[in-house]
Amino acid sequence: MQSLDPLVFIAVFQEMLGPLLWILLATILIGGVAFIALLIKEKHLVSRRFVGSQFIGVVGGALALVLMAKVSSSGFTDAAGPIDWLLIAGVFGAGLIGTTLLSYTVVGWLNQRQSA
């Protein structure tokens, strides 16, 4: 393999996740746009909401690890080298950050709707 083709990654993730891949990608895209729109509207981060979202993010990180274990052919006991542990930490971090931003956004838009 001489070059890195992004379509190969899409094919591999499609094989591993099936239709869940497209649901996750749509959630990332829509959630990101909604987060940016909320920041533009509010003009700042609300610290109380952000701290609460971080607690929810820890649950999201754990769920990302569960999803990783479900779709891969190996479990956590198969992690042997440092790169395995870095990958596990990366998956947890991605789940934590994604869930934190998504929960912050959902709560922010719900609060906007209730106060209007």
3-state percent helix, strand, coil for the chain, nearest multiple of 5: 85, 0, 15
Query: Would residue 1 count as lying in a domain?
Result: no
CB atoms within 10 A of CB 65: 16
Domain that holds residue 61: 6-115
Query: Would residue 89 count as lying in a domain?
Result: yes
Number of domains in the chain: 1
Query: Would residue 34 count as lying in a domain?
Result: yes
Query: Would residue 22 count as lying in a domain?
Result: yes
- What pTM does this model have? 0.82
Q: What is the largest CA-CA distance in the chain?
A: 56
What's the 3-state SS for 58-107? HHHHHHHHHHHHHHCCCCHHHCCCHHHHHHHHHHHHHHHHHHHHHHHHHH
Query: Would residue 45 count as lying in a domain?
Result: yes
Per-residue pLDDT of 19-77, as tens digits, reads 888 999 999 999 999 999 999 999 999 999 999 999 999 999 999 999 888 888 777 77
